[in-house]
Structure 1
Amino acid sequence: MGAAGQDGVAQEIAAQVQQLILSRELSDGSRIPSERDLAVLLSTSRPTVSQAIRILVVKGLVESRRGSGAYVRLRPEVNLAASMSLMLEVDPESVGSLAELRLSLESTGVVRAIERATPEELAEAERALRRLAGSAGDIASWMSADTYFHATLIGASHNTYLAAMFDSAHTALIDYEYRAWVDSGTVPRWLEPDRIGDLTAIHEPILRAVQRRDVDAALYAVRHHHEVMSRHLRLSA
């Protein structure tokens, strides 16, 4: 079967698993059956199931945890993220505007997190950073860990609407940025394990600034992350 045919089958498998999730047969936080079990259940191959899971990760319906498996991640803002993704489909040139929106939302979010984050929330953000550092080399796990890290910090703003809008913009950009690599099953050079230092260097300063309650440093770190992400987006175009 050609690459186009494999992509089509993976999309079909992803749609079947998505239907299981949305029909509530798989509840929020529940572990999805293993790739081997899904391959048997859906009469397909494990590589196809693996690609289908990556498709669901970029949609924000599934969270991949390295060494643990895939889990359902139902959020009320999924439809908003889907709308943003559709806008990108219609006008790919608008990706810069979406990235700009994400930057604005994250900048506001970290300032509010500095004002409002509890010790427990900062401890969870520290765990999220460690999880991120352990996810290099696995594109599905990285996408999930990256989303969780940023969502944890913005969630500490204690503004659910801000957090929902940020998560939606971030998810839509992740979908756009990683789509080619998800479809091909490859890992971009900048995400390979030997580049983990570079990856940590654009995330850790955000958390450290929030922990120190340093607004200027937090805004600088968020801006730097945005600039690096923008370069990745240009590589995806």
Structure 2
Amino acid sequence: MDSARFRDRDDAGAQLASRLAGMNLADPVVLALPRGGVPVARPIAKALDAPLDLLLVRKIGVPSQPELAAAAIVDGEHPEIVFNRDVMSLVGLSDDAIDDLAQPELWELERRRRVYLKDRKPVPVEGRTAIVVDDGIATGTTVRAALAALRRRNPASLVLAVPVAPDETVAALRPLVDDLVCLSIPRDFYAISPFYEEFHQLTDAEVTRMLEPA
């Protein structure tokens, strides 16, 4: 598939919404990965007449190497920890140690939900079509954790919808979902931003404003 350019995240969301609207998805709920996934998800939620919620994810890094993810914690009705067993074994971290390391990240998830959604409770996904949306995917590490945790919440169907992602990432994520919609799967991929004409870093205030009508 050839590379596509999007005017901005709203344009990408409108194009995804057009594709998803033709899929006859039953009882959908749209879950955006903030910050960039929110403006992409808004037109999708509107087109599908679906509730819009956030899917908040925090990496749990190895204490001596914070950039190395030993696990991730994902927000929801009941927050879920997704373990990276290979890394845990490599550095000698137990489940109890991960639980301890997860606590400050859980507090940060709760803080972000208060900032963005004013303490609104997560939308239940059990028995519904859960549509996970971001503005693009590079390696897919965060999305992989989010999908694994979301699957445990027993949606009837799990859909991943993104404007752009590299071929190898799409191939790795496809088995984790029931449907995957990616508008552009370029052969040469270095970053998400070149596929957008306008791609600024969103602020917390912008995200909060976007979520108020939803």
Q: Place the TM-score, normalised by the shorter chain, in its bin.
A: under 0.3
- The two structures have a TM-score, normalised by structure 1, of 0.24
Higher relative helix content: 1
Higher relative strand content: 2
**Greater relative CO, 1 or 2 (CA 8 Å, sep 6+):** 2
